[in-house]
Amino acid sequence: MTRWFNARRRKSSNWRGSLPPEVAKVMKEHMEEVKGSHVNQISSWTFEVVGKFGDRNTVLLSEKRCSCKKFDRLQITCGHAMLAADTVGVLPSTLVGLWNKPGA
């Protein structure tokens, strides 16, 4: 049992960083929602994400904001921001508000 847990931890410690499983689960769901989207980089930290149904969202990566408001509401990275972060090589786990406070 312990060994199984350790193996799972190792496996999930890549892009999710040290996120609690429930947060990582929500982020995975968000990622599913934006599958097939296209990312346009507007400036270094600003992105426009166009979904496969033509819906557009603006991501302000440096401010941890997105026009879909999931960031504000859940403090968990939305799919748009994850796509944007991926574009510039930022780990999505570092964007999660609640879990990324200084000293935490």
- Minimum distance between the CB of residue 14 and Zn ion, rounded to whole angstroms? 22
The single residue among 19, 23, 26, 66 that binds Zn ion, judged by CB under 5 A, is 66
Residues, the chain, total? 104
C-alpha span between 104 and 82 (Å, rounded): 21
Q: Does 16 bind Zn ion (CB under 5 A)?
A: no
C-alpha span between 19 and 86 (Å, rounded): 17
The single residue among 27, 78, 82, 96 that binds Zn ion, judged by CB under 5 A, is 78
Place of tokens 């968000």: 30
Nearer to Zn ion, 57 or 93 (CB): 57
C-alpha span between 69 and 21 (Å, rounded): 22
Nearer to Zn ion, 12 or 64 (CB): 64
- Contacting positions for Zn ion (CB under 5 A): 57, 66, 68, 78, 80
